[in-house]
A = this chain, B = another copy of it.
Amino acid sequence: MGGDHGPSVVVPGVAQAVAGLSGVRFLLHGDEALLNAELAKSPAARAVCEVRHTDKSIAMDEKPAQAMRRGKGSSLWNAVEAIREGEAAACVSAGNTGALMAISKLILRMGANLERPAIVASWPTLRGVSAVLDVGANVESDADQLVEFAIMGAAFHHAVHGSERPTVGLLNVGSEDQKGHEEVREAHAILKDANLEFDYRGFVEGTDIAKGTVDVVVTDGFTGNVALKTAEGLARFFSNEIKTTLTSGPLAMLGALIASGALKKMRRRLDPGRVNGGPLLGLNGIVVKSHGGADALGFASAIRVAVDLARSDFSAEIDRNLKRLTKTAPPAAQADADESKAEGASGAEGQGVSE
């Protein structure tokens, strides 16, 4: 029932997704009258869907705390609960992000040995698609959490974007070891010495995201959210400029008409809908958030992300890396790290740390 369009996007989205998938079945949680009306129009979706009726749903602007209190029995709640009950392998929702996060944490709980969840974004780059996380589950992250994000992001990229041994970078304001604040420098020190199932490439900068320098870009949820939304804003600004430019006069319009095939192809390549689907990583179960404004193509893409994750050994890979991490950094080393953290960091070279 979630998102800007509800069942009128979800059902056609299912139909588009199953065209390229076999053996996947869907439980649709929500108003059965609305859902059945959409299913009647789409035999492909009807063949793989079962409707679970509820007349309760969570509004897009409902506060997460309120959604947690009042959300029981809503379509969103039931979809997440179906994972815990073993009825579903994953949940996809275009609904209220804060509510989805809060209810998923409540029902599914954090995965073993993981501290915090993270939302991961798939980002189109010059070289393909990179995973950027966290883009909004947290407002700050300490070094250990950044290390967890690296491990979860690598497992995600492997499962969904197919990299054999993902490359991972830590987002910072420069590439030298002494750059940045305490949290990133500490996470860098841990990752540099850990022997994990991915290639840690050190610090990367904002420019590296679109370049695709690494498969996985790790950052705290505040910085990641701002970077993602800044990029979204800029993408809209550019589209707008191109449109204005190519309709600015008869010659420009003629040129645009002639080049329209190529321009359409470009727009498709840059379309965020093509890489829609941001999983909430770190929970005991797979929950994928679709953009609220996504169309059927975008919703289908989010479904494919959920299926790829469910069919991968994503959780086992995270477990293995968390265990390797404990081996490389024994309790003594951890205590040292905590101590140096308590001492505070010295402001290095014109980039002072103010505390």
Q: Which residues of A contact B (CB under 8 A)?
A: 63-65, 98-99, 101-102, 105, 115-116, 125-126, 136-142, 145, 171, 173, 179-181, 205-211, 219, 221-223, 225-238, 240-242, 244-246, 248-249, 251-252, 254-263, 265-266, 269-270, 349-355
Contacts and interface: CB of A to CB of B under 8 A. Distances in A.
A140 to B, nearest CB: 5
Given A223-B222, A223-B223, A350 B102 contact: yes
Contacts of A242: 242, 266
A241 to B, nearest CB: 6
A225 B221 CA distance: 15
A181 B181 CA distance: 16
Given A227-B227, A252-B259, A65 B140 contact: no
B258 A241 contact: no
Contact of A138 (B126, B240, B261, B352): B352
A270 B238 CA distance: 9
Contacts of A181: 139-140, 222
B269 A258 contact: no
A107 to B, nearest CB: 13
A206 B259 CA distance: 32
Contact of A262 (B105, B115, B222, B248): B248
B222 A207 contact: no
A230 to B, nearest CB: 4
The 3 A-B pairs with the shortest beta carbon distances in the complex, nearest first, are: A255-B259, A206-B229, A255-B258
A116 B181 CA distance: 16
Given A226-B226, A262-B246, A263-B245, A139 B251 contact: no
Contact of A251 (B63, B179, B259): B259
A354 B230 contact: no
A99 B351 CA distance: 11
Contacts of A258: 251-252, 254-255, 258
Contact of A222 (B173, B225, B235, B256): B173
A226 B179 CA distance: 13
Nearest to A226: B206
A221 B350 CA distance: 12
Output the residue of A101, A116, A223 with the most chain B CB within 10 A. Answer: A223
Contacts of A227: 206, 226-227, 230
Nearest to A230: B206
Output the residue of A208, A225, A236, A262 with the most chain B CB within 10 A. Answer: A262
Contact of A207 (B101, B233, B255, B349): B233
A354 B229 contact: no
Given A140-B181, A206-B228, A262 B270 contact: no
A225 B173 contact: yes
B210 A233 contact: yes
A209 B119 CA distance: 22
Given A206-B233, A230-B206, A349-B64, A262 B266 contact: no
